[in-house]
Amino acid sequence: MTKNVFVVGLNDHNAERLTSLRGVEDVVFHPLLTPAQVYETQEFDIPAMLAEAEATLDAFDGSIDAIVGYMDFPVSTMLPLLCAKYGTRNASLESLLKCEHKFWSRSVMAEIVPDHTPNFTAFDPFDDDALSKIGEAGLRFPFFVKPIKSSGSRLGFRIDSPEDFAYATEKLRAEIRSIGEPFDHVLSQANLPDDIRSVEGHYCMAERVIGGRQCTVEGYVHDGEVTLYGTVDSIRYPQVLSFFYYLYPSNLPRPVQEQMWEISRKVMTHIGYDNAGFNIEYFWDEVENKIWLLEINTRIAQSHCDLFEMVDGVSHQQVTVDLGLGRKPDMPHREGSQKVAAEFFYRVFFRDATVARTPSRAEIEVAAEQVDGTRIVSNVRKGMQLSELPEQDAYSFAVASLWMGASTGSKLLWNYEQVMKRLNYEFTDILD
């Protein structure tokens, strides 16, 4: 019998890619809410989105066999609510929030893996005494601040001085309610401990600066069994916090990866997370041989889909769809056409600028043809302000993304340089 899978925020590229997964011959994929509503925006009216999604599902004349998504907020936080209402498989809302509510998540980590959890505290960015309270909690410069709920690296700041904190606070006060208020709506649907309920959606986290070689462990839980299937390195631009590229498979030593996988099993089992995919970000401090757990994301990493497809033979959306249908994921290993793969981020390090020129579609196609299998997505259009781009970090703007594979890591970097020579972006009104 045909199985109907509803995908929140489904776009054309992923609609095509989903049809190439294993075991989907009897599956029909249906869009639920548009990309413009859930990630091509900075306004998240969750009650309205839930109401529209429920209206679509209620009007559907057929079985609703799975409701899935592969994006961060607000998609990840809406899925448990929709799945609970329509009886499809997903993690519980409370177990999801133990990952996505950064203060609750850090509290859980401190209980179960204290040696891998940095010192932390929550604070209200609208509290004029917040900096002194952070100090009273035992944190000294430098430290890092971020919202208790964010997506990507948005509104994350390294704080080295009171001036840095004042700048971060100004930005947080201006922008944090765009996610804080809709996140509060999700929190209101959950059974929260009192100490977590008091840390509202607009609160922030301050925590000790941790660092080293960064990576992401991808995994899932099916019927209580935690499975890890890949580690992806996160390589930053020199001397800054912005990501340059994601690399798969990881170059970290095997014993380090195995320890991260063991930590991941321990944490996800303790949380009670089940029947959904996840990824966990880590740092390995090579000097001290210390592993730090950075954060848990309650979804597969969409940026890694092409990487798994090129190296392992299928996008790891396979995990999302199989789990949604109640099946153990049929995820292959090293059956792809490439030995290594990466997503590169072409960035500019301005405070803002106007886009004066972007490559034409023909120019992008010619650039992609330099290396077989390359996919290029330009994120900007002529005349726009870079500050209009959603989900950016505090230090740069990702102008374009490039996915490609190769036989070796050095060949991969060389390929990137050849492709970028064909892409010409120009900017005016630059604010340094």
Q: State what percent of residues in the chain have pLDDT above 70.
A: 99
How confident is the model at residue 43, as a pLDDT? Answer: 81
Per DSSP, what are the bridge partners of residue 406?
A: 340
Q: In the chain, what percentage of residues exceed pLDDT 90?
A: 92
Q: Which residues pair with 343 in a beta bridge?
A: 246, 403
User: pLDDT tens for residues 373-416?
Assistant: 999 999 999 999 999 998 888 889 999 999 999 999 999 999 99
Query: Could you give the CA distance from residue 180 to residue 150 in angstroms, rounded to a whole number?
Result: 8
Mean of pLDDT over the chain: 95
In the predicted structure, residue 152 carries a pLDDT above the cut 70:
no
Query: Measured between alpha carbons, how far is 282 from 216 in angstroms, rounded to an integer?
Result: 6
Residues 14, 5, 30, 47, CA torsion sign: negative
The candidate with the shortest Cα–Cα distance to 429, out of 340, 355, 336, is 355
Q: In this predicted model, what pLDDT tens digit does every residue of 361-370 receive, in sequence order? A: 999 999 999 9
pTM of the model: 0.94
Mean pLDDT computed over 52-67: 98
pLDDT of residue 241: 83
pLDDT at residue 418 tops 80: yes
In the chain, CATH 3.30.470.20 sits at 233-249+266-275+304-431
CATH 3.40.50.1220 fits 233-249+266-275+304-431, yes or no: no
pLDDT-derived band at 150, boundaries 50, 70, 90: confident
DSSP 385: B
User: Is residue 29's pLDDT more than 70?
Assistant: yes
pLDDT confidence band for 154 (50 / 70 / 90): confident
| Amino acid identity at 411 | K
Supply the pLDDT for residue 247.
Answer: 98
Residue-wise pLDDT tens digits, 176-198: 998 999 999 999 999 999 999 99
* Cis check: omega of the bond before 255, within 30 degrees of 0: no
Phi, psi of 109 (to 5 degrees): -60, -40
In angstroms, the Cα distances linking 431 to 188, 226, 239, 309, 385 are 41, 47, 20, 39, 11
pLDDT, position 279: 97
Least-confidence region, from 34-43, 120-129, 259-268: 34-43
Q: Which helix (H) or strand (E) holds 86?
A: helix 75-86
Indicate the CATH number of 119-208 among 3.40.50.300, 3.40.50.720, 3.30.1490.20, 3.40.190.10: 3.30.1490.20
CA–CA gap between residue 139 and residue 134 (Å, rounded) = 6
Q: What tens digit of pLDDT does each residue of 293-352 get? A: 999 999 999 999 999 999 999 999 999 999 999 999 999 999 999 999 999 999 999 999
